[in-house]
Amino acid sequence: MMGFALRNLKVFFRDKAAVFFSLLSTFIIIGLYALFLGDVWTSNYEGVPGIRYLMDSWIIAGLLTATSVTATMGAFGIMVEDRGKKVVKDFVVSPLQRRSMVGGYVLSAVTVGVVMSVVTVVLGEVYIVINGGDWLGASELCQVLGLILLSTLTNSAMVFFVVTFFSSTNAFATASTIIGTVIGFLTGIYLPIGSLPETVQWVVKLFPPSHAAALFRQVMMAEPMAEAFATAPAQTADAFREMMGVQLVFGSTEMPAWGSLLVLLATALLFYGLSVVVLSRKAR
Amino acid sequence: MTNAIEVTGLRKAYGSVQAVKGIDFYVERGKLFAFLGPNGAGKSTTIDILCTFLRPDAGTVRIGAYRLGEEDRQIRGMIGAVFQDGLLDPLLTVEENLRLRGGFYDLRGRALTQAVEDIMKQVGVSDLRRRPYGKLSGGQRRRCDIARALVHAPEILFLDEPTTGLDPQTRKSVWQTLHGIQREKGMTVFLTTHYMEEAAAADYVLVMDHGEIAAKGTPSQLKDAYARDKLILVCHDTARTAARLREKGLACTETADTLELPLASTLDALPIIQDLREEIRDFEVIRGTMDDAFLAIAGEAIRE
């Protein structure tokens, strides 16, 4: 399984185009934010101290969520391609066990997701500091790394489930472009959740990766929030949290951090379970 | 001595299309077995089943000492396959590809390194080890595919149209390598091909058509049974010679300025030539080939 996962990683990272396209949505978000979204949001909150630092942290947190979705999708592209080009034949005629094969695909996708997320967080931090913000503290950094692992696990499970239905590279490429674009809306990255209509807000809140986004924001924005709202009344800070999707609110109850963690964990289990069911029904 | 492959009552249908309609055959150990048939005859389906890639609808298959469907893992460990299209990873180097695939057969560490070194040398791709597979020429790639199929020293090698698309020189040198390895290891080779001269070099030939076995035998048996020898005459006066032949009760066909006579054996040409000595400018005696035999068995209609 490890050998097979290693093969997938090599195949993925040597394909420059695959790597680029798996980060496409990341580039889109950065582009949008750098060009105008960043200025729009900072000008909305003029006068708030350290608003740039705050908003930069917000966007990097969102970016992490999207990256782990699209990067795992890119890595799973190898599985679709192997199937489309009948390369699986070469694996099936060898004693390599089917579960090692599937395990190898999943392991490599999770690895790609984590690696790409770590790269994003490093570059993001550099960007924040250049813009006048502070480095993430050691304990926050550890929390972010833990969250990267968990959210990649969840996202890869969902992506894996989608991937099991594709056997043509073209169809999959189209699907991943669409998913890569929509993901920015569904997790409230292009637009903060508070600026969306009520029904769409519900969709966002029920979409598991949004919980990962909220957790990333809670950790990464803790310091800039404290700085920004030090002198402001508590309601202002709470309203901002809800508006920007730092705190997901269902009705009038706030979703606690452990609740979001639970949602992620449950989603991972559910979708890996479903994928196994689909794959074992297909195998005959 | 047990057979390498034994197939009884093998059936496979895709929906309402019967691809393989209950065939029986066996392959003797250490032999080169050629499996022929026009496109769509059920060859690929059969080879996919024997390679454990497809499950048959009915029938039993034994590969070596193992039963297909029950001991697939053991079977997979003792077979190697070269498919029509190369299935190695184009972005990985030859050595990386071979090491990865060798790992599938529980080869580890030094045993793996040794196996990969040996096979690269045998197949003649040692110089290409650091080149990405995707950058190689067709012939080089084919050699790598063969190296991949042989990396775990299988007892049975399946070759599915291994030389299609290669130039004649490359084809010849690929076959020299294959024959050499086969002789040395006593390996059984199961070959499908569209090149009849390749089939003619086999120990045993089986022709499949419409999902059934149309003919089987050694190449010379098949040639004797299905291919006709013929005599071609170039005459001074084609019409007159043709008339003389018909008088003697010999059937012949006129094509351009030549006459073609079917022969029961090449020796029968001698008295005819002697007799017509004065009337002919030139002659040619042609032994029946595998091509003729194949066309006689599978018919001349084109199938795609």
Contacts of B70 (CB under 8 A, 6+ apart): none
Q: Is the distance from CB of B171 to CB of B179 less than 8 angstroms?
A: no
Q: Give the model's pLDDT for residue A149.
A: 95
pLDDT at B279: 84
Q: What is the mean pLDDT of residues A32-55?
A: 80
pLDDT bracket for residue A283 (50, 70, 90): low
Side chain identity, residue A201:
Q
How much is the pLDDT for A177?
85
Q: What pLDDT score does A97 carry?
A: 86
Q: In terms of C-beta distances under 8 Å and separation of at least 24 residues, what long-range contacts does A252-260 make, across chains too?
A: A255/A205, A255/A211, A255/A214, A257/A215, A257/A218, A260/A211, A260/A212, A260/A214, A260/A215
Q: How far apart are CA B196 and CA B219, in angstroms?
A: 10
Per-residue pLDDT, B15: 86
Spell out which residues of chain A touch residue B76, defining contact as CB-CB under 8 Å: 93-95
Residues of A in contact with B103 (CB under 8 A): 3-4
A 10 A CB-CB count for A262 gives 13
Please state, as a whole number, how many other Cβ atoms lie within 10 Å of the Cβ of residue A171: 13
> Is B93 part of the contact surface with chain A (CB cutoff 8 Å)?
no
Summarize the confidence of residues B19-35 as an average pLDDT. 92
Residues A213, A204: contact at Cβ < 8 Å?
A: no
Between A51-84 and A2-14, two packed helices, what is the crossing angle to 10 degrees? Answer: 110
Q: Do B100 and A7 touch (CB under 8 A)?
A: yes
What 3-state DSSP class applies to B144?
helix
Among A233, A260, A243, A249, residue whose Cα is nearest residue A54: A243
Q: Angle at CA B149, nearest 5°, toward B125 and B36?
A: 115
- In tens, the pLDDT along A20-33 reads 888 877 888 888 88
CA distance B18 to chain A (A): 18
**How long, in residues, is chain A?**
284
Q: Does B52 touch chain A (CB under 8 A)?
A: yes
Cβ neighbours of A15 in B, within 8 Å: 91
The HSE-up count of residue A64 (CA atoms within 13 Å, CB side) is: 34
DSSP state of A34: I
Query: pLDDT tens for residues A189-218?
Result: 888 888 888 898 999 999 999 999 999 999
What number of H helices and E strands is found in chain A?
Answer: 14, 2
Indicate the pairing of strand B258-263 with strand B212-217: unpaired
| pLDDT above 70: residue B301 | no
The residues spanned by each domain of chain B are 5-218, 228-287
The DSSP element (H or E) to which B265 belongs, if any, is: none
Per-range mean pLDDT, top range of A148-152, A172-176, B84-88: A148-152
Residue A66: both structure tokens together: 């999207």
Under 8 Å between Cβ of B49 and B56: yes
Q: How far is CA B169 from CA A100, A121, B84, B173, B248, in A?
A: 41, 56, 19, 6, 46
β-strands B58-63, B204-209: how paired?
Answer: unpaired
Q: Which residues of A touch B (CB under 8 A)?
A: 3-4, 6-7, 10-11, 14-15, 85-87, 89-97, 284
CA atoms within 13 A on the CB side of A154: 24
Fill in the amino acid letter for B33: F
Say yes or no to pLDDT of B297 above 80: yes
**DSSP letter, residue B135:** G
- Highest-scoring range by mean pLDDT, A36-50, A222-236, B77-91, B257-271: B77-91
Instruction: Give domain B5-218's CATH superfamily.
Output: P-loop containing nucleotide triphosphate hydrolases (3.40.50.300)
Fold classification of B228-287 is Alpha-Beta Plaits (3.30.70)
State CA A227 to chain mean position distance: 27
pLDDT for B252 equals: 83
For residue B228, is pLDDT > 90?
no
Q: Residue B69: closest CA among chain A residues belongs to which residue?
A: A284
**Whether the predicted pLDDT of A41 surpasses 80:** no
- The DSSP call for residue B75 is H
Residue B67, token pair as written in the block: 């039963």
Neighbouring residues of B137: CB distance < 8 A, sequence distance ≥ 6: none
Residue listed under structure tokens 């009705």: A251
- pLDDT of B163 > 90? The answer is no
Place of tokens 């099991």: A164
- Binned at pLDDT 50, 70 and 90, residue B302 comes out as low
The model's confidence at residue B300, banded by pLDDT at 50, 70 and 90, is low
The residue with greater pLDDT, A25 or B60, is B60
SS3 B236: coil
Sign of CA dihedral A211, A213, A219, A224: negative
**Gyration radius of chain A over CA positions:** 20
Q: How many Cβ atoms sit within 10 Å of the Cβ of residue A167?
A: 16
Identify all chain B residues contacting A284, using CB atoms and an 8 Å cutoff. 55
**pLDDT for residue A42 is more than 90:** no
Closest CA to A116 of A55, A63, A177, A56: A63
Report CA Rg, chain B. Answer: 24
Q: Which helix (H) or strand (E) holds A53?
A: helix A51-84
Lowest pLDDT segment from A31-40, B159-168, B191-200? A31-40
Q: Look over chain A and give the mean of its residue pLDDT values, rounded to a whole number.
A: 88
Q: What is the DSSP letter of A6?
A: H
Whether the pLDDT of residue A263 is over 70: the answer is: yes
Beta-carbon contacts below 8 Å between A and B: 59
Are B206 and B191 spatial neighbours (Cβ–Cβ below 8 Å)? Answer: no
Residue identified by tokens 């034949």 is A89
The answer to whether residue B135 neighbours chain A at the CB level (below 8 Å) is no
Average pLDDT in the A41-64 region? 85
The mean-pLDDT minimum among A41-50, B54-63, B143-152 falls in: A41-50
Same fold, B5-218 and B228-287: no
Q: Please give the share of chain B, as a percent, with pLDDT higher than 70.
A: 98
Q: What is the tens place of the pLDDT at every residue in A109-147? A: 999 999 999 999 999 999 999 988 889 889 999 999 999
Q: Where are the domains of chain A?
A: 2-282
Measure the CA–CA gap between A68 and A72, rounded to whole angstroms: 6
Cα separation, B238 vs B256, in Å, equals: 9
- pLDDT for A148 equals 95
The CA distance from A16 to the nearest CA of chain B, in Å, is 11
Could you tell me whether strands B79-82 and A253-254 are parallel, antiparallel, or unpaired per DSSP bridges?
unpaired
- Label the pairing between strands B5-14 and B58-63: antiparallel
